Structures are given as structure tokens and as C-alpha cells.
């Protein structure tokens, strides 16, 4: 199962805050974060990898960008 | 494609570039410890178009135009132009107004705060502490769920409006250039003395501004974000760019003989520490609540962010209020109503921070 966070339209630091919150509270193996600017994508990826997660950023089929975060 | 400027070395090199060229712009004609100051330069633009009539701070600063146009070019070149708007624009306007009012009590934006420090102005320390304090209060609101709501994608032309306004300003500057010993040419006002009368040549200011706009768009350089991310996430990414700006400006100042340590007699500065601090608390909080320092707001506006554009217009209008109402400081100290403005500004920012939150 993966948890989806829709942070589209939100500007930083919100997408990063939502992602870190989920990393802290949730227990899903995989978190998918949707954002709509490259800046947010970079920020979310940077924050998640600093928490020791594997991250992958791609274009999203729903518009904007998708960051897939996997816990180690 | 990997964006070099989004890496650690990327942001450090952008900070260094800004530091070196800010110091050099001062050498080439800009005012003391004001090679670049987003707040002061927007204030000078407000003066140039007559929104206030403070005779010593009127000049249509090409650096600001360059920032927006440079960011626009970078955003298009790298397919990052995203026209968007609709996240509480009125709040962003009011935050822009008070950000400017606070910054003009201190006499500088975050960029100038560190440029003043790099030029030896000890009063800047109180401004920087105030900035950190203001941003810290902002992070408490973020943790408490403060959120201005999402933006929506919109017409490309929405994102074009502020760049077009800047192009219009540039046209004004070309049609009505400064004339020696003349306080006005056509619709533009010019300062005959004071900081407004000191400026680098048009092509130099515009060119450096555009390159900085380009690099800052690529690297997301933000001085407020530097402090915010460090406090919120213990992240030093943006902070490393900010620190690199100070060091580069300091070294450049030292080499060209612009480093003069001390507290009194510093250029375009006053020594009332409490209000240097207090002004920047208000400005720092307003930047944090609006999601970017004044420079970053210009770069985001160049990327198509209509809400950032509204913040910029708020700052320009705020400069008008600041000087018309006697809120702005001068080298003699705070303005007659500067202290009241800091208190009102803090109250307005706290009102925004406390009431605009979504509970999960």
C-alpha cells in the first residue's frame, strides 16, 4: 500500500511539512507526493533523502510532478 | 536533466556571485552598503513614479527589472514557467505593505542586512537578529497549521503581468532618462542628492540584475527560506547560499576598500538598535508568512506566480505609505511614526498568522 499526499498548489514549506509529518506518523512503506512546481519537487526530495529514504521524482500523469518516497 | 544550481555547490556559487557583484555595483555607483537592496530599490522605484515624494530616494532601479526578466527567461528556457494565482492575494498584498514598512524602519531587506554587515556596519547585527526572530515566529505558525491555501494554474498572461509592468518601467527609464541637475524628466522623478542620486550605469545594473534573476530562479535562492528551513528542518541548503553571499561580499569589499567597521556614520543606517531589531522582526515575519524574501518574490513573479507579484506590488505601495506617513527611518533615526508602524505591523502579521490556519 502507498500513501498519497496531494500538495499541488501549496507552496513551500507546506509540501515538505506534510511529507515529514507523514514520515514521522505513518507506517506505509511508500509515500507518493504530488506537487506542481519543480521547486517543491526538489525540496520534498531533498527533505526525504535527508531522512534516509530512497526518493524518485517523475512527471505526474495528473499534471505537475510526482515524488515517490520509499522507506529503508 | 540535473540542475547544477539546485545542488549545494550550485547555491553556494549563486550566493557568491550575488555577493561579489553587489559589492561591485556599489563600487560602480550604487549607494553605500546598498549594491543591491530589494526593499530599498523598490522604494526608489515608488519614488521615481511619484508614489512618495521623499526627494533623496527616487530612482527607477534597473536591477529590480532585471531580476524579474532574468527569472522569466530562466523559467521559460527550462520549462518551469507556471502561471498560477489565487492563494489569498489580498493577504499577500497586506504582507507586502508591512514587509516594506518594517524593512524601511531598519533600512534594508535581508540582502542589504548582510551586505551592511559585509561592509562593516555593526547595526546590521540587530537587523539580522530581528530577521531571524521574525522568521522564527513564522515557523511557529507553520507548525500550527498556518496556510494561505492552494494556488490554481491560470492563463499564461496572468504570469506575464508583472514582467510586463517591469518592461513598462524599463520603457519609462529609456524614454525619460536622468538629466544632470534635473529633479524630473517627464513622468519620472530623480534624486539630486542622497542614495537615490547614486546609481551604476543602466546597462550594468540591468545586466547584473538579469543574470542574478536567472541564477536565482535556477537555484531558488531565498534568504528567508535559508533561515526558515534551518529552524524548521535543520536544513542548511539555502543557508549555505546566504552565508556564501556574506563571505563573498565581505572579501570583495575588503579588496576594493569598502570595508569600514563601526556603528556610527555608516551609510544609510541609524544606530537605534531596538528599532533595527523590531523593524526586521515585522519584515521577517511578513516574508515568512508570504513564503519568500523580497528577492525570491520577484523571482517567483518571473516564474509566473501571480500571488508573488501581488506581494511585490504591496511592497511598492508600502514604500509609498512608509515615506508619506513618516514611517521610514533616516540616518538620524526612526521616523516620527516608525515605532507605531512597527507595533501595528506586528499586530497585523500576528492576526494573519493566528487566524489563517487549517486544522488537520
What's the CA gap between B267 and B35, in Å, rounded? 12
The pLDDT of residue B272 is 97
Q: Which of A6, A7, A14 is the best residue to mutate to test the B interface, defined by the most B CB atoms within 10 Å of its own CB?
A: A14
The pLDDT of residue B360 is 52
Chain A residues within an 8 Å CB radius of B82: 36-37
Complex-level ipTM: 0.90
Entry pTM: 0.96
For CA atoms B261, B263, B264, B270, the dihedral sign is positive
Report the residue from B150, B228, B237 with minimal CB separation from A8: B150
What's the CA gap between B324 and B336, in Å, rounded? 11
- Total structural domains within chain B: 1
pLDDT digits (tens), chain A, 72 positions: 788 999 998 988 999 999 998 988 888 889 999 998 889 999 999 999 988 889 988 887 777 899 999 987
pLDDT along chain B (360 residues), means of 10: 85 98 98 98 98 98 98 96 96 98 98 98 98 98 94 96 98 97 97 98 98 97 96 95 98 98 97 98 98 97 98 98 98 97 98 87
The pLDDT of residue B281 is 98
The pLDDT of residue A25 is 87
For CA atoms B173, B177, B181, B186, the dihedral sign is negative
What's the CA gap between B92 and B308, in Å, rounded? 7
Cell for B263? 556603528
What's the CA gap between B217 and B75, in Å, rounded? 7
The pLDDT of residue A11 is 87
Superfamily of domain A2-70: TusA-like domain (3.30.110.40)
Q: Are B94 and B313 in contact, with CB atoms under 8 Å apart? A: no
The pLDDT of residue A58 is 82
The reply to whether residue A13 touches residue B235, judged by beta carbons under 8 angstroms, is: no
Residue range of the domain that includes B144 = 4-355
Identify any residues that bridge with A69 across adjacent strands, giving them in sequence order. A31, A55
Measured between CA atoms, the residue of chain B closest to residue A10 is B150
The pLDDT of residue B359 is 64
The pLDDT of residue A12 is 83
Nearest to B159 by CA among B86, B69, B83, B65: B83
The pLDDT of residue B240 is 97
Is B230 within the bounds of a domain?
yes
What's the CA gap between B83 and B85, in Å, rounded? 7
Q: Domain residues of chain A, as ranges?
A: 2-70
Edge-first strand order for the sheet with A54-59 is A2-6, A30-35, A65-70, A54-59
CA B249 to chain centre: 17
Amino acid at each position: 500500500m502507498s500513501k498519497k499526499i496531494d500538495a499541488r498548489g501549496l507552496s513551500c514549506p507546506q509540501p515538505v511539512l506534510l511529507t515529514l509529518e507523514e514520515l514521522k506518523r505513518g507506517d506505509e512503506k511508500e509515500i507518493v507526493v504530488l506537487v506542481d512546481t519543480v521547486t517543491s519537487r526538489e525540496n520534498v526530495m531533498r527533505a526525504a533523502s535527508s531522512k534516509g529514504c530512497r526518493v524518485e521524482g517523475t512527471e505526474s500523469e495528473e499534471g505537475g510532478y510526482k515524488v515517490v518516497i520509499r522507506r529503508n | 536533466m540535473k540542475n547544477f544550481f539546485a545542488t549545494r555547490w550550485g547555491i553556494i556559487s549563486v550566493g557568491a556571485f550575488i555577493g561579489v557583484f553587489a559589492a561591485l555595483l556599489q563600487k560602480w555607483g550604487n549607494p553605500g552598503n546598498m549594491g543591491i537592496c530589494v526593499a530599498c530599490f523598490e522604494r526608489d522605484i515608488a519614488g521615481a513614479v511619484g508614489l512618495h515624494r521623499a526627494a533623496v530616494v527616487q530612482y527607477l532601479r534597473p536591477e529590480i527589472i532585471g531580476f524579474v526578466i532574468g527569472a522569466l527567461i530562466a523559467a521559460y528556457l527550462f520549462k518551469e514557467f507556471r502561471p498560477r494565482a489565487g492563494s489569498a492575494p489580498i493577504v499577500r498584498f497586506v504582507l507586502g505593505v508591512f514587509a516594506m514598512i518594517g524593512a524601511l524602519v531598519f533600512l534594508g531587506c535581508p540582502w542589504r542586512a548582510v551586505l551592511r554587515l559585509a561592509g562593516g556596519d555593526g547595526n546590521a547585527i540587530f537587523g539580522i537578529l530581528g530577521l531571524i526572530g521574525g522568521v522564527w515566529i513564522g515557523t511557529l505558525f507553520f507548525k500550527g497549521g498556518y496556510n494561505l491555501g492552494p494556488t490554481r494554474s491560470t492563463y499564461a498572461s496572468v504570469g506575464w503581468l508583472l514582467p510586463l509592468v517591469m518592461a513598462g518601467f524599463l520603457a519609462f527609464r529609456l524614454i525619460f532618462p536622468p538629466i544632470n541637475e534635473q529633479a524630473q524628466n517627464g513622468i519620472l522623478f530623480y534624486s539630486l542628492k542622497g542614495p537615490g542620486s547614486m546609481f551604476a550605469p543602466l546597462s550594468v545594473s540591468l545586466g547584473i540584475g538579469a543574470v542574478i534573476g536567472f541564477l536565482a530562479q535556477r537555484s531558488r535562492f531565498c534568504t528567508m527560506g535559508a533561515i526558515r528551513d534551518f529552524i524548521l528542518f535543520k536544513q542548511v541548503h539555502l543557508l549555505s547560499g546566504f552565508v556564501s553571499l556574506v563571505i563573498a561580499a565581505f572579501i570583495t569589499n575588503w579588496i576594493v576598500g569598502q570595508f569600514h567597521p563601526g556603528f556610527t556614520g555608516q551609510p544609510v543606517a541609524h544606530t537605534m538598535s531596538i528599532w533595527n531589531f523590531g523593524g526586521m522582526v515585522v519584515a521577517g515575519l511578513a516574508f515568512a508568512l508570504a513564503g519568500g524574501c523580497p528577492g525570491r518574490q520577484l523571482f517567483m513573479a518571473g516564474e509566473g506566480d501571480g500571488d508573488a507579484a501581488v506581494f511585490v506590488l504591496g511592497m511598492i505601495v508600502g514604500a509609498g505609505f512608509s515615506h508619506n506617513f513618516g514611517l521610514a527611518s533616516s540616518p538620524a533615526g526612526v521616523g516620527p511614526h516608525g515605532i507605531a508602524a512597527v507595533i501595528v505591523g506586528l499586530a497585523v502579521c500576528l492576526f494573519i498568522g493566528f487566524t489563517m490556519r487549517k486544522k488537520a
